[in-house]
Structure 1
Amino acid sequence: MLNFIYWPISAILWFWHKVFSFVLDPGWGFTWVLSIIFLTFTIRLILVKPMVKQMRSSRKMQEMQPKLQAIREKYKNDQQKMMEESRKVQKEAGVNPLAGCIPVLVQVPVFFGLFHVLRSFNRTGTGVGQLGLSFEENRNLPNYVFSVADVNSFLDARIFGVPISAFIGMSEDMFQAFQPVDFSRWQIILVAAPLILIIAAATHFNARMSIDRQKSRLASGKQQAPSGEMMQNQMQMMNKMMLWFMPLTILFTGFLWHLGLLFYMVTNNVWTFFQNRYIFDKMDREEDAEEAAKKAAARTSAPKPGVRPAGAKKKKKK
């Protein structure tokens, strides 16, 4: 059912592995890690433009809040009319509320797609999603775009002495896919645990960066606070989820993530940090330019000192 995700993800990973194989050993663990890192770069680069559009759309939505609030108050007893008028205002401003969800929604299937593709290199386990194949069967079965030779290359690849498709919670029978089994669960933990901690901390600090900017914009008056107690509570709840719930989720589920997926998440968070710095600076410059243009327009339209406003009538002398 999700093949439309698995095949493209495996194709991008395959492409970068072939690229790096021209200059590096194809079976070297670092070659595969680099392939995963550049898969991340490829996906995130595609999403930069939608992310910028999403930020601009969010800014316009903030500017529209007084109009939307007036519509909600005017048609509070007519939900259909309220929705129609709200959509009309959004259309006039060129805003699509659903467009802001695209960058986030795209990353979710990418994450699960990569999770599945990496796990499918080792199908020897008997747990959920595993096929229970023997060592020989697994070694002689392709994995989406990857040939049998690629599958063996991936299974034999090591990073710090541990297979890059290994994960902390893998069952003992899955160890047999990697021959020779020259590693232990503790070695997997020693490699995976620091990556999990880095991902959780980076997720927290990236969220902190966004929330601090939001607070700064509210304090400077460049962004209006959500109207109504319910909206304010929702915003506070979302901020807490970003700051604490997501990092804690990573800590508690990290034992299920392959090393390859952990490297993807580390790279994704590093990209997010620098992308946010770039986009936030870009948005701040645009907002400052728009504010300066509005002030300049107001000065131009204002009457000069000593000049009677246009249309003003002279008072008759008695």
Structure 2
Amino acid sequence: MLDFIYYPVSFILWCWHWVFGKVLGDNNGAAWALAIVFLVFSLRAIMFKPFVKQVRSMRKMQEFAPELKKIQKKYANDRQRQAAEMQKLQQQHGFSPLGGCLPMLLQIPVFIGLNHVLRSFGSILPNGQPRTENYFFDQHGVESYNAATIFGAKLNNFITEPAASLGTVDRGSVILVAVPLMIAASIATHFTARHSVSRQNAAAATSQTAIMNKVTLYLFPLGVLVFGAFFLIGLLLYWLSNNGWTLMQQRLVYNKIDKEEEEKKTEAVEKRNALAPKPGQKPTRKPGTAAGSTAGSTAGTAAKSSAAPKPGQKPAAKPAAKPAAKPGTKPAATKPAGQAKATNGSRAASSDEVPGLISDSSRSKKSGRKKP
């Protein structure tokens, strides 16, 4: 049913056992233990890029967590609208919740596949015969795994295993190997969760976040320590190496992202300082401002400054206002002085140019004769 998981897991395990078996021997327990450890390293290396995306997604989520709080508070009574607004906000910020959970979800089928493959080494077929093949392992590989021991315990043994299935293996040897692995795996799980929690934004923390932090910090490590008694020694090796890799990877990735963000901040500050005017530098004319308008404004300022009275100078006297007309009198028709002068001048000019057309004041207007 899950052969698409079992075959890849068994193939990677077969490859690493072939490598270490050439050095330490096929039936050596250390060769099989190293094969399991490097199986974990290989799978985690494949999932390195998704892990980086997960960290970046978590950082983005922490940045707009206050906005999520506002949405939750605003639509507390409308769950459907709340979910729609949160999804819209996540799309605007480019955050994908699935991308943050993908690396953790991918580890689940790997754990299930390795557990099935390791247990299949010592399983019995329906006809009552021991298994001679196990996916990519042939009969020689199955016999080699079943014969390998570490300090007297086999990789398929566990502390609570029934005495009938232990066979010639002493339970004390199983406890001697399994308990240190359980403690080490529990400590590694705690420090991995502790490092992850320390990178969270305290301002964006919620009550649900606080509960999850306590679960990952204390409940998961305690679960490994308690339920480790039911885990195969090979699975305990897997759990220890997986958490050890996660802790190392978290430190490297978080330090790298911190350096990138610090470089971006430094570049932004340098760019801002480069655009800012230097001390003592005159402000430059804004682009799009015409030179004429600048000159006009300068001339207008100069004219205003020249019109202003100098210190100690008396202000110029204003022209006297004309007396107001008395009531009942018509205002005298006034002609402009220039117009009157122009009329007299035109008469004189016409008398000089055309003789005989001069109007004599001594003639009578009616008869045209001269007065006596």
In which range does the TM-score fall when normalised by the shorter chain? 0.7 to 0.9
Tell me the CA shift for residue 79 of structure 1: 4.8
Which whole-Å CA distance do the structure 1 matches of 2:164 and 2:135 have between them? Answer: 23
Q: Deviations over 1:69-107 (max 9, x none)?
A: 455566666655544444344333322121100111111
* Mapped pair 1:162 → 2:172: no
Aligned length: 291
1:202 equivalent in alignment to 2:185: no
Q: 2:137 aligns with which of 136, 143, 146?
A: 146
Displacement, 1:67? 4.3
Change (3 A) 1:168 1:276: same
- Aligned match of 1:174: 165
Deviation at 1:120, TM superposition (A): 1.2
Q: Decide which of 182, 200, 204 is 1:225's aligned counterpart.
A: 204
Whether the aligned pair in 2 keeps the contact of 1:206 and 1:273 (CA below 8 Å) is: yes
Mark the CA change 1:165 to 1:85 in structure 2 (over 3 Å): closer, same or farther: same
The answer on 1:192 being equivalent to 2:192 is: no
Q: Cα distance 1:196–1:300, how it changes in 2: closer, same or farther (>3 A)?
A: same
Give 1:272's aligned amino acid: T
Q: Deviations over 1:32-66 (max 9, x none)?
A: 11111110110111121111111111112222334
**Helix, strand or coil at the partner of 2:175:** helix
Tell me the residue number matched to 2:19: 19
What does residue 29 of structure 2 align with?
Answer: 29
Alpha carbons of structure 1 residues 234 and 71: separation in structure 2 relative to 1, 3 Å = closer
Alpha-carbon spacing, 1:249–1:72, altered in 2? closer, same or farther (3 Å): closer
How far the C-alpha of 1:308 sits from its partner, in A, is 9.3
Give the direction of change, closer, same or farther, for the CA distance of 1:301–1:142 in structure 2 (3 Å limit): same
TM-score relative to the length of structure 1: 0.80
Question: Which of 219, 222, 228 is equivalent to 1:248?
Answer: 222
Q: Rg: which structure is higher?
A: 2
Matches within 5 A, 1:80-119: 80-119=80-119
In structure 1, runs of 5+ residues without a counterpart are 125-130, 219-223, 227-231
State the Cα distance separating 1:141 from its structure 2 match. 2.7
> Any residues of structure 2 matched to 1:48-67 within 5 Å, and which?
48-67=48-67
Indicate conservation of the 8 Å contact 1:29/1:157, yes or no: yes
| C-alpha distance in 2 between matches for 1:260 and 1:92 | 45
2:236: which partner in 1?
Answer: 262
212, 215, 218: which one pairs with 2:198?
A: 212
Residues 261, 152 of structure 1: alpha-carbon distance in 2 compared, 3 angstrom cutoff: same
Aligned to 1:229: none
Residues in 1 aligned to 2:259 and 2:119: alpha-carbon distance in whole angstroms: 44
Distance 1:170 1:292, change over 3 A: same
Structure 1 position 293, deviation (Å): 3.9
The structure that is helix-richer by fraction is 1
Per the alignment, do residues 209 and 78 of structure 1 end up closer, same or farther by CA in structure 2, a change over 3 Å counting?
A: closer
**Percent of residue pairs bearing the same amino acid type:** 43
Give the stretch that moved more between structures: 80-89 or 268-277. 80-89
SS at match of 1:30: helix
Indicate conservation of the 8 Å contact 1:122/1:174, yes or no. Answer: no
Q: In the superposition, relative to structure 1, how do residues 195 and 207 fare at CA in structure 2: closer, same or farther (>3 Å)?
A: same
CA distance in 1, matches of 2:82, 2:278: 42
Task: Tell me the secondary structure at the aligned position of residue 121 of structure 2.
Answer: coil
Root-mean-square deviation (CA, aligned residues, Å) is 3.0
Aligned twin of 2:4? 4
Q: Are residue 280 (structure 1) and residue 254 (structure 2) matched? A: yes
- Answer whether contact 1:303 1:309 (CA < 8 A) is retained: no
Q: Distance in 2 between matches of 1:293 and 1:71?
A: 33
Secondary structure of 2:44's aligned partner = helix
In 2, Cα distance between equivalents of 1:38 and 1:70 = 46
The alpha carbon displacement at 1:236 in A equals 0.9
Deviation at 1:16, TM superposition (A): 1.1
SS at match of 1:251: helix
Structure with bigger RCO (C-alpha 8 Å, 6+ apart): 1
> In the aligned structure 2, how far is the partner of 1:24 from the partner of 1:261?
21
Q: Which residue of 1 aligns with 2:355?
A: none
Name structure 2 gaps, 5 residues minimum: 305-372
